[in-house]
Amino acid sequence: MLGAADESSVRVAVRIRPQLAKEKIEGCHICTSVTPGEPQVFLGKDKAFTFDYVFDIDSQQEQIYTQCIEKLIEGCFEGYNATVFAYGQTGAGKTYTMGTGFDVNIMEEEQGIISRAVRHLFKSIDEKKTSAIKNGLPPPEFKVNAQFLELYNEEVLDLFDTTRDIDAKNKKSNIRIHEDSTGGIYTVGVTTRTVNTEPEMMQCLKLGALSRTTASTQMNVQSSRSHAIFTIHVCQTRVCPQTDAENATDNKLISESSPMNEFETLTAKFHFVDLAGSERLKRTGATGERAKEGISINCGLLALGNVISALGDKSKRATHVPYRDSKLTILLQDSLGGNSQTIMIACVSPSDRDFMETLNTLKYANRARNIKNKVMVNQDRASQQINALRSEITRLQMELMEYKTGKRIIDEEGVESINDMFHENAMLQTENNNLRVRIKAMQETVDALRARITQLVSEQANQVLARAGEGNEEISNMIHSYIKEIEDLRAKLLESEAVNENLRKNLTRGHGEISLLQCLLSFLAYYTVFRQGDYRNYRSSKERLGEAKTEREEEEEKCCRERR
């Protein structure tokens, strides 16, 4: 895992199936209603529940997939695990929503979540490979595996195992469930099939779904008698994406080293869980083997409910979470409170005769909204080390650039410190920029004031001409142009006077420095002559000083003439 874990709540969607023909014939009334534009469902007149998504009777399969599942597939390419599981009473439409019940005459718009997710997965793989080739990068390598498990009477069965005796379902299974060092759950003894295309994946799904245990009850003609978990493993090896921090470093330092692509390996697993329906034996009329299956189903769902309650109740979060009470909860340990982006689809019936089952399902789903998962990227250790080294290189490059620009210095004792001159220079540059902006604004103000003065003077001259009876328009325009030219010349004159005054001050300062230099030379000459006692040397030195003085005066006059 890379970096710190991000908390992600389990999202819950409620889907209300249409009424069956049998329910309409028997005169069942609709007891559910949905608030338009809001994810809120009403049961009866006084019971309201709010979820992340609510889909009414007329909802379509594509709508559910687009709003709930599409982003989870995109997250798999970034190394995030995902889980989608359907919950509800028997006959509520879980298998239809998930798409694990294959029908020969099924239409494309009626395809379930799994079929659409598989199509989206392989389409995105092709797009990512094509995009990498267009950008001149090595295309990413993908390895996609699939597993299909069935949890029947608390025994884990492999639906991909063609050598399994389908009639011997009650025999002890050889599949074992283990937990790795990071808390992840994996199975041993399960058939894993490698697939490369969408048709291969759909064929695997179809073969596994046909091997699943189903039976007829009074509530459902083809009732699922087991929990099914279809898992897709995606392993991706791609070029490490460039971060913004690396782009901001010194390009010269990067260009000195030879370009070399760095690769990272990301893994992700996607669970599609079709839970068996909760049922009451009184309503299903199950006896014998069917009754035993129903008891096992309810035990697994009860254990799942206890886990959801323990994770969702804030007062119980510090206590033990009973994952080990059922194999179903062990297999879903990653999905509930673990490392997975999880969405629960609660399927309910709108008929009033299923009022209590619908109420229990909505309460069950409402508790699941309080579960917080710790979502992290699944990355191999080599990729983690590569990312750590890249971050260290980026930090060192930034530090080297700070030394080159003078921001950091090291004194004689080897102590590192921040250069005050760098900050002072930055402050002066900021102040200089602010002054530039102010000067520009003041120049615009001066121009505006000059135009305003010209206009006022022109209006005043026009008034004088009007009073004199000579208000000719051509004369007015001529006067306006003359006044404008006069104002421009006056501004230039003021500017020239200011420049002249600065030059005069500089010249005066230069004369003062020359006079001081002459005094120092005279003093040195007097001191030298009188110390040696030679008046002639003093006179000759005085004459040389006079000549030097004459040459300096000529140079000064020449400089003054050049400046003028």
CA angle 59/64/65 to nearest 5° reads: 145
Residue 529, SS3 per DSSP:
helix
Q: Give residue limits of the domains in the chain.
A: 11-241+261-383, 431-538, 539-563
Confidence of residue 338 (pLDDT cuts 50, 70, 90): confident
Cβ distance 379 to 230 under 8 Å? no
Residue 496, SS3 per DSSP:
helix
Q: What does pTM read for this prediction?
A: 0.66
Residue 124, SS3 per DSSP:
helix
11-241+261-383: CATH homologous superfamily?
Kinesin motor domain (3.40.850.10)
Cα–Cα distance measured from residue 296 to residue 290, given in angstroms and rounded to the nearest whole number? 10
pLDDT at residue 123 in the model: 94
445 annotated as ligand-binding: no
Strands annotated E in 300-431: 341-348, 372-377, 408-410, 416-418
Residue 194 clears pLDDT 80, i.e. is over it: yes
pLDDT at residue 197 in the model: 92
269 annotated as ligand-binding: no
Residue 43 clears pLDDT 80, i.e. is over it: yes
Bridge-based pairing state of the strands 341-348 and 11-16: parallel
Cβ distance 346 to 362 under 8 Å? yes
88 annotated as ligand-binding: yes
91 annotated as ligand-binding: yes
Confidence of residue 249 (pLDDT cuts 50, 70, 90): very low
Report the first-to-last Cα separation within the chain, whole angstroms. Answer: 78
Phi and psi, residue 541, nearest 5°: -65, -35
Q: Report residue 218 as tokens.
A: 């009074």
Looking at per-residue pLDDT, the higher value among 490 and 308 belongs to 308
Confidence of residue 528 (pLDDT cuts 50, 70, 90): low
Residue length of the chain: 564
Pick from 105-109, 239-243, 300-304, 366-370: least confident: 239-243
Cβ distance 191 to 341 under 8 Å? no
Rg for the chain, CA atoms, rounded: 44
pLDDT at residue 56 in the model: 93
Q: Which helix (H) or strand (E) holds 413?
A: none
Cα–Cα distance measured from residue 98 to residue 117, given in angstroms and rounded to the nearest whole number? 10
Residue 252, SS3 per DSSP:
helix
Which range, 118-122, 495-499, 542-546, is most confident?
118-122
Confidence of residue 248 (pLDDT cuts 50, 70, 90): very low
pLDDT at residue 72 in the model: 92
By CB neighbour count within 10 A (0-12 exposed, 13-18 middle, 19+ buried), where does 401 fall? Answer: middle
93 annotated as ligand-binding: yes
Cβ distance 177 to 185 under 8 Å? yes
Q: Give the tens place of pLDDT for each residue, 422-449.
A: 777 778 888 888 888 888 888 888 888 8
340 closest CA partner among 83, 79, 76, 118: 83
Residue 544 clears pLDDT 60, i.e. is over it: no
Residue 1 clears pLDDT 50, i.e. is over it: no
92 annotated as ligand-binding: yes
Cα–Cα distance measured from residue 455 to residue 358, given in angstroms and rounded to the nearest whole number? 84
DSSP letter for 17, please: P
pLDDT mean over 97-124: 84
pLDDT mean over 481-493: 77
pLDDT at residue 168 in the model: 56
Looking at per-residue pLDDT, the higher value among 46 and 528 belongs to 46
101 annotated as ligand-binding: no
pLDDT over 70 percentage in the chain: 72
**What average pLDDT does the structure give for the chain?**
78
94 annotated as ligand-binding: yes
Q: Give the tens place of pLDDT for each residue, 381-393.
A: 666 677 777 778 8
